[in-house]
Amino acid sequence: MTDYSNAPELKASVLGKTTEYADQYDASLLHPIARKLNRDQINVSDDALPFKGEDIWTGYELSWLNAKGKPEVAVATFAFACTSPYIIESKSFKLYLNSFNQTRFDSFDVVKETLTRDLSGASNSNVIVNLFKADDFNCLPFSALPGECIDDLDIEVETYSPSTALLKSKSDDVVTETLYSHLLKSNCLITSQPDWASIIIRYTGREICREGLLKYLISFRSHNEFHEQCVERIFCDLQNAFAFDNLEVCARYTRRGGLDINPFRSTDSATTTLNVRTNRQ
């Protein structure tokens, strides 16, 4: 696999570097990364994407000052279409959100408008932002994942680097099913910090060998790639192997630095049908 960790736009970023936290609003802290960097590696062209979807981020550590200098807090969600030319580097996103801490804003609406403008500009796409007050307990309810968990399968694992050879059909019978696993783990492309996720796979097509699927998901354990990139790789590997009639892949990553990232890719839907929050988040 080509090493693209030395791409100029990554080397110029704050990722993996010691940084000071600004507490005054600064939109310039946002660091975009071209989605094309990864898609070249999996033979996907931005002009002919084999999937639809979005990336749903949750921000748990957003605070600012109101017009009188009194702190406000909120939980935020940010939806980026997978067609956006750029993703936002997560550390720069955190630094950007922290820059709100000692900045005065007149209202929740002004904060939302500011976030929407800055993130849409950085990603070169329309980003949907929602803010929720701290006592709005229904905004992000926990839920059991849909489908059947495959984690209890008694398998022997020897491969910890992505291998499509592990993907096999159980039969030629066409089925519709939803499977999930809590055992997806990959590493940050630059820092190698672990990224933990639960992943949901819903498909219609030839029945998957579940043991092989679980081994394949575990094979990402030593793999270095961003969250969004891992999900696109998994989607493409599955679709290339099985040519499903319909396929949805959604990963629910645990938070780091007050942010979680939840990429969703689908043959049919541009907005997630699997937006459920796990107890690990």
What are the residues facing 55 on neighbouring strands? 80, 263
Give yes or no: 188 in active site: yes
Ramachandran area for residue 53 (φ above 0: left; ψ -120 to 50: alpha; else beta) = left
Cα separation, 261 vs 33, in Å, equals 15
Cα separation, 143 vs 59, in Å, equals 19
Residue of 55, 82, 188, 237 marked catalytic: 188
Residue of 195, 230, 237, 250 marked catalytic: 195
CA distances from 265 to 77, 83, 243 (A): 18, 11, 15
Which residues are known catalytic residues?
Answer: 188, 195
